[in-house]
Structure 1
Amino acid sequence: FSVGTGQRFLGFAVSSRHFSASSLALGKALVYSEYGAPERVLELKEQPSESVSSGKVLVKMLGATINPADINMIQGTYGSSSLPAVAGNEGVGVIEDPGTSKLKKGDWVIPTKPGFGTWRTEFTASSDELLVVPNDIPMEYAAGISSNPCTAFRLLSDFGNLKEGDVVIQNAANSAVGQCVTQIAKSRGIKVINVIRSREDKELKALKKKMSDYGAENIVTEEELAGPSSDTFKGLPKPKLAINSVGGSSATNIAKRLDQGGHMVTIGGMSRKPILVPTGAMIFKDLTFEGFWMTRWILNSSSNDRMEMINEIAKLIKDKKLKLWYETVPLESYQESIKRSMEQRKDCKLVFKF
């Protein structure tokens, strides 16, 4: 989920893990002491060591993703932090020293809450701040499992009362969340209408081929969607669920395609434009509009619910029913890597490899 630069996500505080000499094990961390542009405020710092005390475990990070929310937190436009803070919300580590906890040496773990500070090589934490994840999937998938795949999983599980044969429509369909929606939906027998922005012919053909390779069907551009008719919709039931990551006219156009009693869920606002709800459709088609924030779900869910979801997603990965694109980069290249991650069009998600 991304919040545009200059826009503060009001009503929620996402507290980033505070940086101090007494809370981190030996290693390195990307730290910011003030809000601002990442290239200006981020510093790669050496960390002092700390022995594992009662109830604590020592974790060595394996990988940590670079997400829009990470950038927004550093900029000060997403949640709040106790400064100085270690950057990064998502990643996977391995238990080096379980201390007196029930965790085992070699367990793979992810943070249970956002704002944990994952862009570092090692840390100590309470065992209840960590969730064990399967260690028989690629490291990059484990590092990124808690955001995009989980968001897609919850959208398809919690909204629209979807069943096999139903139809979902989504904009920004080639985004990381969109890729996950397409593939998880396919595993459940749910069809997806995938809406993307128009591009030059060569680039558009290449994108459609990539999307088709991971199972995407019914791919249309925003312009085609807004047109009077489209062959994409022939033979398909009207969508029960619309997933909006863009806002503006794009949101309006996917809402217009919804069936009677349909549901539109907003998870982002890439266009930085307000959602324009079609009045007639809202009144006469009894449509429902709401937002979804994965962080809220995590904070309100039990560890058993999170574990069940993670295990189902891991099974899809192992069964090759969920394919994502990652590129590993060293922590030392953070300036260039963060710059790349902020580009509007990118082919893969970047993961710091430790």
Structure 2
Amino acid sequence: MAAIKLGALSALIGRSSRNNCVRAFSTVMSPPSKAVVYDQHGAPDKVTRLVEIAPVQVKENDVCVKMLAAPINPSDINRIEGVYPVRPQPPAVGGYEGVGQVYAVGNAVNSLSPGDLVIPFPPSFGTWQSYIVKDQSVWHKINKDTPKEYAATVTVNPLTAFAMLQDFVRLHPGDAIVQNGATSIVGQCIIQLALIQGVHSINIIRDRPGADEAKENLKKLGADQVFTESQLNLKNVKDMLGGLPEPALGFNCVGGNAASLVLKFLRNGGTMVTYGGMAKKPVTVSTSSFIFKDLSLKGFWLQKLMSTDKASECKNMIDELLNLMRDGKIKYEMELVPFNDFHSALDKALGKQGSRPKQVLTF
């Protein structure tokens, strides 16, 4: 079935009455779809399955989108497990972000046309399916020249990095930031965005096989300093700065001791922003950090930001990020996996095959 705009169907109606036209529009259906669904919360590799979904009605304000790619994020896994704070109730379709091409639009839709490249914004539950029908307000049109893997992954991790660099401390060229979890997609984006702003980055990674290679890869992205956690088990980490200024801003996505290492680097009056807790350990702060360094601890949750009056600002950030990605100024490694092979991608995302690039399903 070729891509269509439903309004064009009026030519097929001939001299039918207006009421007949309305009935014709209401009977247009999406193509059959495949989807990754789960009927209950639990281990993602055990509760998910690939199913066929029957065509659904495309109403006058709806847009039918053929999905092109959608990533597997840690938050997607947490939603399936039932431990993420905001999640759909099963039975549900997996996935939260992605990119697609407009396949058909309802008669009342004027802002989008078949062939347009779109992403759901704010991100929307159920992106792990080959066709999605949702109201036109859900879709944000983007540049057609954007590589699909970057378009599919821009809304969660890169946008988190961009927003955090802007929202907490006013940074100037020559300033510095410090972060743990530097090999994550957010961490890699922070390094590259800081470089674009003329801001230095001090980065902390786990002690693990391949740490030296990880250090070199981060330095190629623009990292000024990269340390393993064990290198910082000393009283005064400031001696490790190598001439860089003390950071005013730090980012924590790990928790536990890794968060304490970020705090060690911060200057008096500095701020640490926590946006994740991969170690599943609490953030512990010494009394002296509060009393003598006057440090501030903040939290960041992207979903909350996108539901405020800053939603339009977030869209502008996304467009700017996609421009940088098309210009090669922001990049990160991804592995594209056919949608029918989603269980293999899921295993890799769960770490069953060691550390792997971000898994992106392609439809």
Give the TM-score normalised by the residue count of structure 1.
0.89
Q: Distance in 1 between matches of 2:78 and 2:253?
A: 16
Match of 2:40 among 19, 34, 49: 34
Amino acid at match of 2:88: S
SS in 2 for 1:82: coil
Shift of 1:297: 0.8
Pairing of 1:171-320 with structure 2 (within 5 A)? 171-200=180-209, 203-229=210-236, 232-320=240-328
> Could you report, residue by residue, the CA deviation over 1:135-182 in whole angstroms, capped at 9, with x for unpaired residues?
212100000000110000011111121111111000011111100000
Is 1:52 aligned with 2:58?
A: yes
Match of 2:150 among 141, 145, 151: 141
Shift of 1:123: 1.2
Shift of 1:38: 1.3
Q: Distance in 1 between matches of 2:207 and 2:144?
A: 39
Shift of 1:229: 4.8
Amino acid at match of 2:207: S
> Could you report, residue by residue, the CA deviation over 1:4-29 in whole angstroms, capped at 9, with x for unpaired residues?
xxxxxxxxxxxxxxxxxx99751100
Shift of 1:98: 2.2
Amino acid at match of 2:320: E
Query: Identity, % of aligned pairs?
Result: 40
| Alpha carbons of structure 1 residues 84 and 311: separation in structure 2 relative to 1, 3 Å | same
Deviates more, 1:169-178 or 1:228-237: 228-237
Provide the residue aligned with 2:94 in structure 1: 87
Provide the residue aligned with 1:119 in structure 2: 128
Q: Distance in 1 between matches of 2:309 and 2:234?
A: 41
CA contact (8 A) 1:251 1:275 kept: yes
CA contact (8 A) 2:349 2:358 kept: yes
Provide the residue aligned with 2:17 in structure 1: none
Q: Distance in 2 between matches of 1:24 and 1:69?
A: 28
Deviates more, 1:96-105 or 1:256-265: 96-105
CA contact (8 A) 1:25 1:51 kept: no
Q: Distance in 1 between matches of 2:37 and 2:184?
A: 28
> Could you report, residue by residue, the CA deviation over 1:265-318 in whole angstroms, capped at 9, with x for unpaired residues?
001111111111121111122111011011111111444212210111012112
Q: Distance in 1 between matches of 2:212 and 2:156?
A: 28
SS in 1 for 2:294: coil
| Alpha carbons of structure 1 residues 347 and 187: separation in structure 2 relative to 1, 3 Å | farther
CA contact (8 A) 2:30 2:64 kept: no
SS in 2 for 1:116: coil
Amino acid at match of 2:127: T
SS in 2 for 1:304: helix
Provide the residue aligned with 1:132 in structure 2: 141
Provide the residue aligned with 2:25 in structure 1: none
| Alpha carbons of structure 1 residues 24 and 259: separation in structure 2 relative to 1, 3 Å | farther
Provide the residue aligned with 1:72 in structure 2: 78
Is 1:109 aligned with 2:115?
A: no
Shift of 1:214: 1.9
CA contact (8 A) 1:131 1:303 kept: no
Match of 1:328 among 329, 336, 352: 336
Deviates more, 1:245-254 or 1:63-72: 245-254
CA contact (8 A) 1:23 1:123 kept: no
Q: Distance in 2 between matches of 1:235 and 1:212?
A: 17
Q: Distance in 1 between matches of 2:103 and 2:309?
A: 27
Match of 1:170 among 179, 184, 191: 179
Q: Distance in 2 between matches of 1:313 and 1:115?
A: 20
Work out which structure has the larger RCO, using CA pairs closer than 8 Å and 6 or more positions apart in sequence: 1
Q: Which has the larger radius of gyration?
A: 2
Provide the residue aligned with 1:159 in structure 2: 168
Aligned residues, how many? Answer: 331
| Alpha carbons of structure 1 residues 172 and 23: separation in structure 2 relative to 1, 3 Å | farther
Please tell me the root mean square deviation across aligned C-alpha atoms, in Å: 1.8
CA contact (8 A) 2:71 2:360 kept: yes
Amino acid at match of 1:285: K
Provide the residue aligned with 1:10 in structure 2: none
Runs of 5+ in structure 2 lacking a partner? 1-27
Runs of 5+ in structure 1 lacking a partner? 1-21
Amino acid at match of 2:289: A
| Alpha carbons of structure 1 residues 209 and 347: separation in structure 2 relative to 1, 3 Å | farther
Shift of 1:125: 0.6
